[in-house]
Amino acid sequence: MTGLVFDLLLCALLLAAGLAAVVARGLFAGVVFFIAYGVFVALGWLRLDAIDVALAEAAIGAGLTGVLLLGAIGQLSRAGAEAPAPRPNIPLALACGGLSLLLGAAFLALPDAPGLQAEVAAALPISGAENPVTAVLLNFRAIDTLLESIVLTAVLVGVWALARDDAWGCRPGLPQRVRPDGVLAGFGRLLPPLGLMVGVYLVWAGTKQPGGAFQGGTVLAAVWLLAAMAGAVTAPRVTDLLLRAALVAGPILFLAVGIAGALGGSFLGLAPAVAGPLILAIEVALTLSIASTLALLVLGPPEARA
């Protein structure tokens, strides 16, 4: 009963936050509602026992996307752009409403398909992972994860391509000025050790429990950004070789393991005897690449400094 009440309340909040994000006056309010919406979606996934998805939604859907959007608003106001007046877009609203109705009706009419849980459970013992989600991501459907991690690289290259030509070789983002005794400096010292622990734990636990490279990498990216905002670390130059190596280390290791498998007759195949350690190694390397890529995405293209 409490469960039902909670779910109904959550659904109402979800709808309200989503609607508010769309109709809010001003970009900032819209983004804030969007972040709240992401948190409610994450709670929804929790209620559906999809803890991995909930973690990813909270970290990437609500957290990282929210930060990116807030950063975009900051860029717009610095550039002196005026926020467009919100105006109702009736055709778009009708199209989205129609799509929602279609999806809802299709959902209700779906034949009763059991999904692939039985197949996943049967193959889990030789997959090298105890968490079925990790087994799917790093083994059964490894190519999806490999390509998704490389999509992140493509996006970062695309963002960097928006730099000014004379800024190439500079550091990404704007310089941070912090009062040494301010709140930001204090948090910048206090939170990173905790965040570091959480991030590393998420990756380490990922093979057995919910967690993994994307979730852990997001937390680690946040830790690094916090330290950067507090002035404790500075972003490396975009031409820095170590940085470039960190960006591609994970996908390259993943791909190298895949090609080695292909030479043995199975592209992206992991022999059951070594699958566990290989998955852990790939997850660790991917975490490094994902964390650095996400952090740099938030910072934006390199900026020339006076």
Partner 1 sequence: MTTLLLALPVALPLLAALIAVAAARIAADLAMATGLLVLGLAVWLVAEVAHAGPVSIALGGWEAPLGIVLHADGLGASFLLVTALIMAAVLPAARQGFADRGAETRAGFAFWPLALLLFAGMNTAFLSRDLFNLFVALELLTLSAVALVAIEGKAETITAALRYMIFALLGSVLFLLGAALAYSAYATLDMTRLAGVAAGDWPMAAAVALMTLGLAIKTALFPFHAWLPPAHSGAPAPASAMLSALVPKASFVIMLRLWFEVVPDLASPLLVLVLGSLGAVAVVWGSLLAIGQARLKLIIAYSTVAQLGYLFLVFPLAGGVGAAQPWAAGAWTAVSFHAFSHALAKAAMFLAAGLFLRAVGHDRLEGLRGLARAMPIACFAFGLSAIALMGLPPSGGFTAKYLLLTSAFASGQWIWGVVLVAGGLLAAVYLFRPLNLMFSKEGADPATLRPVPRGEQALPLLLALAAILLGIASSGPFDFLQIGRPGDAAAGLAP
Q: What residues line the site for partner 1 (CB under 8 A)?
A: 99, 102-103, 105-107, 109-111, 113-116, 119-120, 123, 139-144, 146-148, 150-151, 153-155, 157-158, 160-165, 167-169, 239, 241, 244-245, 247-248, 251-252, 255-256, 258-259, 261-263, 265-270
- Of 59, 61, 52, the closest CA to residue 18 belongs to 61
Q: Looking at beta carbons only, is 4 or 79 nearer to partner 1?
A: 79
Q: Which residue has the tokens 């031409």?
A: 239
CA distance 248 to 285: 9
Q: Least distance (Å) from partner 1 to the CB of residue 28?
A: 21
Distances (CA, A) of 293 to 90, 135, 231: 38, 24, 20
Q: Least distance (Å) from partner 1 to the CB of residue 212?
A: 17
Q: Looking at beta carbons only, is 15 or 119 nearer to partner 1?
A: 119
DSSP letter assigned to residue 212: -
Q: Least distance (Å) from partner 1 to the CB of residue 97?
A: 15
Please state at what angle helix 65-78 crosses helix 27-47, rounded to 10 degrees. Answer: 180
| Cβ 121 vs Cβ 136: under 8 Å | no
Q: Looking at beta carbons only, is 74 or 119 nearer to partner 1?
A: 119
Q: Least distance (Å) from partner 1 to the CB of residue 243?
A: 10
| Cβ 135 vs Cβ 129: under 8 Å | yes
Q: Looking at beta carbons only, is 30 or 192 nearer to partner 1?
A: 30
Q: Looking at beta carbons only, is 70 or 123 nearer to partner 1?
A: 123
